[in-house]
Amino acid sequence: MRKTGSDPKMLLKRLREFMAEAIEPQMRLNQIVREIAQNMAAEVCSLYVMHLNGMLELYATQGLNPQAVHLSQLRLGQGLVGAIAATARPLNLVNAQDHPAFTYLPETGEEIYSSFLGVPILRAGRTLGVLVVQNRNQRSYSDDEVEALETVVMVLAEMIGSGNLPHIAHSDVKVDTERPFSLTGSALNEGIGLGHVILHEPRIVITNLFNEDCEIELLKLSAAIDSLRISIDDMLARWDVARDGEHRDILETYRMFAHDKGWVKRLEEAILNGLTAEAAVEKVQSDTRARMIQIVDPYMRERLSDLDDLANRLLSQLMGRKDDAFAIGICQNAVLIAHAMGAAELLDYPREKICGLVLEDGATTSHVVIVARAMGIPVIGQAKGIISLAKNDDPIIIDGNEGHVHLRPVADVEKAYAEKARFQAHRQKFYRDLCNRPPYTRDGVPITMLINAGLLVDLPQLAESGAEGIGLFRTELQFMIASTFPRAQEQEELYRTVYQEVGDKSVTFRTLDIGGDKVLPYFRAKGHEENPALGWRAIRLALDRPALMRTQLRALLKASGGRELRLMLPMVTEIAEIHHAQQLIDREVAHLARFSYELPTQLKLGAMIEVPSLLFQLDELMQVTDFVSVGSNDLFQFMMAVDRSNIQLANRFDPLSPTVLRALRKIIRASQRNNVPVTLCGEMAGKPLMAMALIGLGFQRLSMAPASIGPVKAMLLSLNAEKLCDVLEKELGILQTERSLRPMLLDFARNNNIAF
Ligand code: PEP
Ligand code: MG
C-alpha cells in the first residue's frame, strides 16, 4: 500500500499517452512536467537537460518562471541540480536553501520553495539531465516518491537519449545526437577503424518501457532470475581449484547479488510502478553503473562491473536475445561501443566484421582489452560520454594510435582518415607479400622471428604472419579473462590446443605472470600493496603458492607428452628462484612418471631477464638455464624506475638510451660466452627502429606481436647488420653523453634506405 498520493503507474500511463500524441517536443515536455507535478502533489516540476559541455539547461518547468526555460543554466557540480548530475545520486531535502550546494537563480523565482527532490536522468550509466520537484512547505519526500520519480525519468532518458529534443534547445550548444563529436580517450590498442556504430549494450533495443500487465512481467522476471541463479550455482559447482580465498568470495558475491532480496525487490517495485521487466532491470542497472562511475578502487570497480555483467545477462534472457542472430545481423566495419564488456562477449561477435572497440571505461588490463589486442582490433578506452551521444549506425572513426574518436565525422576528417586507412591497407598487403620471404638481413644474418601469444584467438596468426614459432606464450591471459581460476583440465586443454595449432613450430610457455599490472579480479594479494610492480607477483607468488604453480606445471607436462616442453620463468630476481622452481618441476615429472603418463621428449627451462639484478649474475644464470629471454618492458621499467603504465612518463626516457643498449649488449655477450640462446620478447622487438638496434647489438631471435612481423621483416631485409654492429660498437664504446641514440639510428636507417 502506497503511503503517499503519487501513483507512478497512473503517471506512466499518462506519459505513454503523451508520447503517442503527435505534438511538438516542447509541448510534450510541458505536458510531462505538468503531469508529474500534479501526480506528485508538487508545486514545481522542472526538467534540466545536460549539454555536451556539461551545462545543465532548464528545458521545461511547471511552477518556476516560464521565461527562465532555455535561459537558466547550471554547470556540472553547480547548485543542487549540478550536484545531482555530478554524483548521479538523488537529493531529497526538507529545506533546499540550507544545503551548502544551493545556488540561487533569480530568474526562476524558486526562492519561495523549501522542499526539494531531484533525481538524475540516467541512461547507460550516463547522466543526461535532472528532474526536480519542489514544494513550498517543508516536507521530506518518501522513499516511494523517490522511486516514483526515478521510474518516470526512464521515459525522459529515452526521449533525451534517442535524440528527440534537439531542435528545441535555445542556446548554441545543442543536446546533440546528430552533429559531429570528437573526443580523446586512452589509446589501448593501435590501429585505425572506420565504420559504423554498434552499441553493444542490449538495453538499446528495449522498445517497450510500459507494462500491460504487472503479473505477467513479474512472472517473466522471476523466471529469468531463476535461470540466472542456476547458472551461477553451476559456476560454483564447477569451481574446484582451491577451497578458500578471495576468488570463492567473488563467486559468492555473484550468488549473493542474484539472491539479494533488496535487488529483487527494487526490480519488482519498478514493475509494480508500471515498467516492463526489462525496463525495470535497466533502471536498476543504471543505478549500479552510476555508482561505478564514482568508484576509483579498481578492485571494487571490477566487482561492480561483474554485477553489471549479471544484470546484462538477465536483460539478455528477458529480451530473448539470440547471440547468433544478433551477431549475424551486424554490419561490416562495425565499431563496438560499450560502457564495459566481458571478454567472452567480444568473442561472440564475428571478428571479420569488427573494426574497432570504444569503451567508456576500460584500461590496459581490462580483460576485453587484452582479448581485443590479441584479435588486432583497435581500442579506445575512457571515452566518457560516448554512449549517450552515439546511435546505432552512426559513422565513426577511431584512431587507436592517438586515442581519438570521431563520431559522425565531418568530411575533412573522414577524407584524411580514409587516406590513412588506404595507406595502411596498402602496407598490409605489402607485409603479407613478405610472409614467405626467409628472414635474413641483407648481409645474410638469419633472424628468428617469433610471435607473442596467450589466447586461442592468437593462434591463427602464427601461420598468417609466417613466424617460426611462439617465443612467448603468456599463460596468465587465460587466467585474466576468466571469472574464476581456470581448472587444471581447462589449462591442459588450452595447452594441448596450442600444440595442435603450432604443428611442428616451437612454442615457449611462460609460467603464470600475475600480479603487478596483471590483475585477476578474483584473486588479490593479502593486504594493500604500495608498489604492486615491485610486489608479490610472477615467480614470487608462484613459489609461495606452490599448489597453483604445480597445477599449471602438471597441465603443461601432460599436454606436452611426446613433444618438447619449453618453460620460461617470469620476473626472476635471483638464481635460487630457478632452483626452487626446478624442484617443483622435478616433483611433477616424477609424479607423472609414476602414473605412466607420456612425458615431454625434452624439457628446456628458461628465464626472463626483466629484473636488473640478473644483469650482474648473467654467467650464473646461464649455467642453470637452457635459454633466456629479455622482457624489455619490465627491464626498462625497473632500470629507469618508470612505471610502465604511467602515461605521464611514457616518453620521458628512451629504450634506445646508451644505458639500456649497454645492458642489452651485456646480455648478448653473456649469451655468446655461455652458448645459451637469447630472445628479446618485449615491445622493443616489434618496433622496426628498435628491432634494427637489437639486431645491431647481436640479437638474432625476436618475439613480437603478430602485427609487427611484417614491418620488422621489411626492415631487416633491407639492413646490413654488420655495418650497424660496427657503428653501435663504436658509439657504445666511447663516453656517451647523449640521452638517446635514436637520432643516430634514424640517420643510419635513412642513409641506408632501411624500411622502418
Ligand atoms: C616484458 O616485460 O617485456 C614482457 C615480455 O613481459 P610482459 O610484457 O608480459 O610483462
Ligand atoms: Mg614482463
Q: Tens of pLDDT along 731-741?
A: 999 998 999 99
What ligand 1 atom has the least distance to the C-alpha of 682?
3
Q: Residue 453 CA: which ligand is closest?
A: 1
User: Rounded to the nearest whole angstrom, what is the distance from the C-alpha of residue 387 to the centroid of ligand 1?
Assistant: 33
pLDDT at position 176 over 60: no
Q: Among 204-213, 244-253, 475-484, 488-497, where is mean pLDDT lowest? A: 244-253
User: Rounded to the nearest whole angstrom, what is the distance from the C-alpha of residue 283 to the centroid of ligand 2?
Assistant: 42
User: Rounded to the nearest whole angstrom, what is the distance from the C-alpha of residue 570 to the centroid of ligand 1?
Assistant: 8
Mean pLDDT along residues 295-307: 62
Q: What is the DSSP letter of 598?
A: P
Rounded CA separation 559/565 (Å): 9
User: Rounded to the nearest whole angstrom, what is the distance from the C-alpha of residue 130 to the centroid of ligand 2?
Assistant: 47
Q: Residue 705 CA: which ligand is closest?
A: 1
Q: What is the DSSP letter of 131?
A: E
Our mutation pick for probing the ligand 1 site, out of 450, 508, 513, counting the most ligand atoms within 8 A of Cβ, is 513
What ligand 1 atom has the least distance to the C-alpha of 633?
3
pLDDT digits (tens, 9 = 90+) for 677-732: 999 999 999 999 999 999 999 999 999 999 899 999 999 999 999 999 999 999 99
The closest residue, in CA terms, to atom 4 on ligand 1 is 631
Our mutation pick for probing the ligand 1 site, out of 508, 634, 637, 694, counting the most ligand atoms within 8 A of Cβ, is 634
Q: Residue 510 CA: which ligand is closest?
A: 1
Our mutation pick for probing the ligand 1 site, out of 510, 518, 633, counting the most ligand atoms within 8 A of Cβ, is 633
The ligand 1 site (C-beta within 6 Å) comprises 472, 474, 513, 610, 631-634, 681-682
Percent of the chain with pLDDT strictly greater than 70: 88
Our mutation pick for probing the ligand 1 site, out of 610, 638, 640, counting the most ligand atoms within 8 A of Cβ, is 610
Helix, strand or coil for residue 725?
helix
**Average pLDDT across the chain, whole number:** 87
CB 752 within 8 A of CB 668: no
Residues with CB under 5 A from ligand 2 (ion): 610, 631, 634
User: Rounded to the nearest whole angstrom, what is the distance from the C-alpha of residue 537 to the centroid of ligand 1?
Assistant: 13
User: Rounded to the nearest whole angstrom, what is the distance from the C-alpha of residue 519 to the centroid of ligand 1?
Assistant: 14
Provide the whole-model pTM: 0.67
pLDDT at 243: 40
pLDDT at 351: 84
Q: Residue 517 CA: which ligand is closest?
A: 1
User: Rounded to the nearest whole angstrom, what is the distance from the C-alpha of residue 682 to the centroid of ligand 2?
Assistant: 7
pLDDT digits (tens, 9 = 90+) for 587-612: 999 999 999 999 999 999 999 999 99
Rounded CA separation 116/140 (Å): 8
What ligand 1 atom has the least distance to the C-alpha of 474?
9
What ligand 1 atom has the least distance to the C-alpha of 634?
2
CB 614 within 8 A of CB 635: no
Taking every pair of C-alpha atoms in the chain, what is the biggest distance, in angstroms?
A: 90
Q: Among 90-99, 460-469, 480-489, where is mean pLDDT lowest? A: 480-489
Helix, strand or coil for residue 571?
coil
pLDDT at position 52 over 50: yes
The closest residue, in CA terms, to atom 6 on ligand 1 is 631
Concatenated DSSP letters of 669-692: HHHHHHT--EEE-SGGGGSHHHHH
| Helix axis angle, 214-238 to 261-272, nearest 10° | 160
pLDDT at position 45 over 80: yes
Q: Among 73-77, 108-112, 585-589, 669-673, where is mean pLDDT lowest? A: 108-112
**Nearest residue to 59 (alpha-carbon basis) of 147, 174, 230:** 174
User: Rounded to the nearest whole angstrom, what is the distance from the C-alpha of residue 474 to the centroid of ligand 1?
Assistant: 9
Rounded CA separation 65/570 (Å): 68
User: Rounded to the nearest whole angstrom, what is the distance from the C-alpha of residue 501 to the centroid of ligand 2?
Assistant: 25
Q: Residue 686 CA: which ligand is closest?
A: 1
> Would you place residue 303 in the very low, low, confident or very high pLDDT band (cuts 50, 70, 90)?
low
What ligand 1 atom has the least distance to the C-alpha of 610?
2
What is the distance between the terminal CA atoms of the chain, rounded to a whole angstrom?
74
What ligand 1 atom has the least distance to the C-alpha of 637?
2
The runs of H, that is alpha helices, within 183-337 are 214-238, 246-259, 261-272, 277-294, 298-319, 323-328
User: Rounded to the nearest whole angstrom, what is the distance from the C-alpha of residue 400 to the centroid of ligand 1?
Assistant: 21
pLDDT at 532: 87
Torsional sign, CA 226, 228, 233, 234? positive
Mean pLDDT along residues 210-218: 90
Q: Residue 632 CA: which ligand is closest?
A: 1
Q: Are strands 181-184 and 126-135 parallel, antiparallel or unpaired?
A: unpaired
Q: Among 2-16, 148-162, 426-440, where is mean pLDDT lowest? A: 2-16
Mean pLDDT along residues 411-428: 89
- Angle ∠(44,48,50) on CA atoms, nearest 5: 170
pLDDT at 209: 84
> Would you place residue 144 in the very low, low, confident or very high pLDDT band (cuts 50, 70, 90)?
confident
Rounded CA separation 348/370 (Å): 15
What ligand 1 atom has the least distance to the C-alpha of 517?
10
Helix or strand run (H / E) with residue 729: helix 721-733
What ligand 1 atom has the least distance to the C-alpha of 472?
5
pLDDT digits (tens, 9 = 90+) for 18-30: 887 888 888 889 9
| CA distances from residue 413 to 173, 182, 337, 423 in whole angstroms, order as listed | 21, 10, 20, 15
> Would you place residue 245 in the very low, low, confident or very high pLDDT band (cuts 50, 70, 90)?
very low
pLDDT at position 497 over 60: yes
Q: Residue 364 CA: which ligand is closest?
A: 1
Rounded CA separation 335/354 (Å): 6
User: Rounded to the nearest whole angstrom, what is the distance from the C-alpha of residue 610 to the centroid of ligand 2?
Assistant: 6
Helix, strand or coil for residue 134?
strand
More confident residue, 748 or 6: 748
The closest residue, in CA terms, to atom 9 on ligand 1 is 474
pLDDT at 558: 98
User: Rounded to the nearest whole angstrom, what is the distance from the C-alpha of residue 631 to the centroid of ligand 2?
Assistant: 5
pLDDT digits (tens, 9 = 90+) for 620-631: 999 999 999 999
pLDDT at 510: 98
More confident residue, 616 or 245: 616
Mean pLDDT along residues 107-130: 86
- CB within 8 A of 241, min separation 6: which ones? 247, 484, 485, 486, 487, 488, 548, 551
pLDDT at 227: 82
> Would you place residue 152 in the very low, low, confident or very high pLDDT band (cuts 50, 70, 90)?
confident
pLDDT at 110: 82
User: Rounded to the nearest whole angstrom, what is the distance from the C-alpha of residue 517 to the centroid of ligand 2?
Assistant: 10
Q: Report the Cα 411 to chain-centroid distance in Å.
A: 30
> Would you place residue 324 in the very low, low, confident or very high pLDDT band (cuts 50, 70, 90)?
very low
The listed range with the strongest mean pLDDT (99-103, 247-251, 300-304, 340-344) is 99-103
More confident residue, 452 or 164: 452
Q: Which residues is 61 bridged to in the sheet? A: 46
Q: Which residues is 396 bridged to in the sheet? A: 195, 407
Mean pLDDT along residues 329-338: 85
User: Rounded to the nearest whole angstrom, what is the distance from the C-alpha of residue 432 to the centroid of ligand 1?
Assistant: 26
pLDDT at 140: 87
Our mutation pick for probing the ligand 1 site, out of 681, 683, 690, 708, counting the most ligand atoms within 8 A of Cβ, is 681
What ligand 1 atom has the least distance to the C-alpha of 516?
10
What ligand 1 atom has the least distance to the C-alpha of 632?
3
pLDDT digits (tens, 9 = 90+) for 349-393: 888 899 999 998 877 767 788 788 888 899 999 898 788 788 888
Rounded CA separation 307/304 (Å): 5
